Amino acid sequence: MQSLLLDFLKVTESAAVAAMPWVGSGDKIAADGAATNAMRENLNKMKMDSTIVIGEGEIDEAPMLYIGEKLGAGGSHEVDIAVDPIEGTTPTVNGQGNAITVIAAAPKGTLLHAPDMYMKKMAVGPKAKGKINLDAPIEENLKAVAEANGKAISALTVLIQDRPRHKEYIERIRQMGAKVRLFNDGDVIYATATCIEKLGIDMFFGIGGAPEGVLGAVAVRTLGGEMQAKLLPRNDEEIRRCNEMGISNLESVLSHDQLVSSDDCVFVATGITDNLLIDGIETEYTNYITHSFLANGKDKQLRYVKSTYPIAQTV
């Protein structure tokens, strides 16, 4: 997978650059379509046989790289891919922060193959790996994470999306004395942030999209942390689709190994607008300057890459 890392970088950079003209436009469909088309075009140039195992779908009703789509120009690499051409479409078109384009990849058969649906998730950094249990009360997890990190519970910072469905959890976390940092968009960004010590984030928790869950799980694995998750089907149709994809026990927590079962995985993200992980695209004379985040699970190494793209080539 490491040999494909720079090719995946070109995929995310191209998608971010394609989305740039739509920043602040208010047009979510056009922005997502531009990023998706650029991502698909560059994935199809890569020397690999790949399958989208989890991607955009019905939750957003957006242009998508659909689940089961085959991509690549052929070759010896057989790859599972999880994608989000724009993680943070709303902030992109509103000219706000917290938007990236992102891709995660691993050898065939090692990423969770699941429908686009809701998923409950918890992520922590390397120090708390092996200490969490998504089935346990949030209070027990806070105690375990505090002990693993050598902190008082009052010193913990928990990231959780600002949604009505999280109101009870937010209140319980605060009652324990921990700090809650709310965010509106950027699920993958904030799951990944738990593994970057300088950011001071101890836990990510909440209910969001399954594609973002798998992307986050790869990012967290590449950086030595842990994620657990549980699919939350809303109706019989989603249950049927899970069963068709081989997921029959929907009551069980998905371990990190079930989300991504190989350390030979890669995670690449390019900023569209500024966010907690990386800067967004800058305009400098006749160029776009992109900022990207590359991580691979084999050596648990994180790289930051800055690239230049002539604007004339992107119109």
Binding residues for substrate: 87-89, 118, 163-165, 185-187, 209
Instruction: Could you list the residues known to form a binding site, using ranges.
Output: 32, 56, 84, 87-89, 118, 163-165, 185-187, 209, 212
Please state, in angstroms and rounded to a whole number, the distance separating the CA atoms of residues 11 and 218.
17
Q: Are 55 and 26 in contact (CB under 8 A)?
A: no
Please state, in angstroms and rounded to a whole number, the distance separating the CA atoms of residues 97 and 255.
31
Please state, in angstroms and rounded to a whole number, the distance separating the CA atoms of residues 213 and 30.
25
Residue 14, Cα to own-chain centre: how many angstroms?
18
Q: Are 210 and 125 in contact (CB under 8 A)?
A: no
Instruction: Could you list the residues known to form a binding site for Mn(2+), using ranges.
Output: 32, 56, 84, 87, 212
304 CB neighbour count, 10 Å cutoff: 11
Residue 313, C-beta contacts closer than 8 angstroms, at least 6 positions apart = none
Q: Which two tokens stand for residue 7?
A: 């090719």
Beta pairing, strands 157-161 & 226-231 = unpaired
Is 1 in a helix, a strand, or coil? coil
